[in-house]
Structures are given as C-alpha cells and as structure tokens.
Amino acid sequence: MKVKICGITRLEDALAAAEYGANALGFVFYRKSPRYIEPELAAEIIRNLPPFITPVALFVNEPEESVRDILHLANINVVQFHGDEPLDYLSLFPQRIIKAIRVKDESTLKPLAGYEVSAFLLDSYSPDAYGGTGKRFDWEVIKETGSVNRIILAGGLNADNVAYAVKLVRPYGIDASSGLESSLGIKDHKKVKDFIRAAKAASLELDEQF
C-alpha cells in the first residue's frame, strides 16, 4: 500500500509525512488552488527530503512549456494531471504519469481503457473544483476497478475512514490532502500520522488474509 500526502506547502510538513511513512508527497502547481506552491519553494523542499520519498507534481490544464520548466526546476519525475488533459497532451511527457479522474458514477470510469499511464487517481467530482474538496464519492462504484487498474484512491479520506476504503477498494495507493489539514495548506501532523498508520495497518490485514 502506497501513501501519498498531497498539498505540501512547508518543509516541516513534508518531513513529518516522510517520518510517519508516506511514500510520496504531492506539490500543487495550480494557481487557483489554496495549496498552490511556488516552484522554487517546492524545489527547496524536495532537496531536503530523505531518500526513497517520491515527489509528485500536480497540474491542471497547464501549458506544456510551463510543465516542462517546473519539472526541470523542481527535479520531479512523476506528474499528476488533474484537469481535462487529452490523450495526445499526456503523450508529450516522458515522465511517469498519474491521470486523475473525477468520479460521478460508473460511466466516469469508461475512459480508463483509453489511457496509457502509470496509474489512475480517482477523486470526487465537483463542478466547482478540480480536487481538494474533502468530499468522498461512492467507493462501491469502483471496488472492482482496482483489480484491473493501478488505482490511487482520493477524495474525502481521513484516519477515520481510510481502513474501510482500503479494504473495500484494495487500491494500489491512497491520497489525502484537505482531510489532514489544520488550516488551508497546513498539515496537522497528528492527523497525518494517524492516517498513514491506519492505512498501512489495513493493508497489512489484507496481506495476511491472502
């Protein structure tokens, strides 16, 4: 079970998440997000991360040139596209790609077959935001999806519900942001610790059953 803590804006939050067992940290380069981080600050944080922690760059409908510049500056090799990016746009990038899909219902999952990406991140649909809403969707809709796709589950996850989500969906990974904050863009370290511990424990229980 891989755990990604997204919306990192401070070094102390990044280091805490890494210490508690996060596998990846997400940096939001979408200016309309309250968790937006300047590329220079993200680069500084990433330079101070311990080894084996994967930084992930999140973009929403960003111009190709801008994406390339930020990835180079921050030295990031995993990209999460969270907008309406078409297939031909994704093919422009040699990095490992995570494509976010905002789930309304089962019909939302049909486009998955058309993408050639490293993983899919399934998040809650909102007409007002591309992510970070803190709202969950109906996980029953995707409980069969994880067995045929590399799925990262997001949307409304926290320490109280993550064990149930892991056992139901059995995703490749989980992703949380707003549910682990004390205020916008600022992580609550206890919430982060409890979330990662609950997720890993649920994954271990699954492993022991098979």
Is 123 annotated in the active site? yes
CA-CA-CA-CA dihedral for 209, 158, 28, 38, to nearest 10: -130
3-state secondary structure 12-56: HHHHHHHHHCCCEEEEECCCCCCCECCHHHHHHHHHCCCCCCEEE
Task: Report the distance separating Cα 58 and Cα 30, nearest Å.
Answer: 7
Which residue bears the tokens 């280091």? 15
Is 6 annotated in the active site? yes
- 186 membership: H or E segment, kind and range: strand 186-187
Residue from 6, 84, 194, 207 carrying the catalytic annotation: 6
- C-alpha 155, offset from chain centre: 9
Is pLDDT at 204 greater than 70 in this prediction? yes
Which residue bears the tokens 């993200």? 42
Residue from 13, 123, 160, 188 carrying the catalytic annotation: 123
Which residue bears the tokens 């899919």? 120
> How does pLDDT run across 130-158, given as a tens digit for each residue?
655 667 888 888 877 755 679 999 999 99
> How does pLDDT run across 61-116, given as a tens digit for each residue?
999 999 999 999 999 999 999 999 999 999 999 999 999 998 988 888 887 878 88
Buried residues in 64-90 as b, exposed as e (16+ CB within 10 A): eeebeebbeebebebbbbbbebeeebe
In this prediction, residue 127 carries a pLDDT of: 60
Q: Are 79 and 96 in contact (CB under 8 A)?
A: yes
- 200 membership: H or E segment, kind and range: helix 189-209
What is the average pLDDT score of the chain? 92
In this prediction, residue 131 carries a pLDDT of: 58
What is the number of helices (H) and of strands (E) in the chain? 6, 10
- Cα torsion angle, 40, 45, 49, 52, sign: negative
> How does pLDDT run across 185-194, given as a tens digit for each residue?
999 999 999 9
Helix, strand, or coil (residue 180): helix
